[in-house]
Amino acid sequence: MSQGNPDIRQQVEASRGPLKKLQLLLPGLRGYRKLEDIRVSDEFLRNQVANKLDAVKGSLEQLRKQVAASNDLTNLTTVGALISQIQGLGGEVRHAQQGYSGWVAPIAINEEKLNKLYEYDYAFVSSVFQLAETAGKLSYDASSPNSIQASAAQLSRTLADIKQKWKTRMEAIEGIAVG
């Protein structure tokens, strides 16, 4: 996945083997194959985003070690809270519903909804990259403990934005979004 174009649906379609190409020719299997490819693309994208969130968590854990070594309890609480939030979001993103729909599922997922699901995931990728960039620049100066508070606040705002985008995705897929 490149940061400039994280849409990997075309890559999944291009990597279809002979069996998958045959499925596209057979009535009844064509729809299944198209939906399955979108699901696979969505899963790849979400796993990459979750990996990026894990990297952010790793950066914050390094920061937490520096803060703890300085016995700075105020910033230790702030950094610990951010780590907890990022870990929770990473788990939600990695293990979110893929949009698979059984015969009697309460929420029917068709190709349009799967593409919309993918578009929501695609939309918050840049925010996750921004979060990772901000977290990568964090450094702790024990002689000026308040210096990380502005960066931590920016990280918290970016994280809140990502959470809102994720919530919007879930509401849209479940059909309860308004607007």
**DSSP states along 126-137:** HHHHHHHHHHHT
Band (pLDDT 50/70/90 cuts) for residue 60 is very high
Q: What is the pLDDT of residues 100-150, one digit of tens each?
A: 555 555 666 677 777 777 777 777 787 888 889 888 888 888 888 888 888
What is the percent of the chain with per-residue pLDDT over 90, rounded to a whole number?
A: 25
Reported as a single tens digit per residue, the pLDDT across 74-105 is: 899 999 999 999 999 999 888 876 665 555 55
d(CA 96, CA 146): 37
* Burial annotation 121-140 (CB, 10 A radius, 16+ → b, else e): bbebbebbeebbebbeebeb
This prediction has a pTM of 0.74
pLDDT tens-place string over residues 20-55: 777 777 777 777 777 788 788 888 888 988 999 999
Instruction: Look at residue 19 and tell me whether its pLDDT is greater than 80.
Output: no
Angle, CA of 48, 52 and 57, to the nearest 5°: 145
The confidence score (pLDDT) of residue 30 equals: 76
Residues counted in the chain: 179
Comparing CA positions, the residue from 30, 48, 20, 37 lying closest to residue 115 is 37
Question: Structure tokens of 53?
Answer: 């969130």
* Contact in structure between 148 and 138 (CB atoms under 8 Å): yes
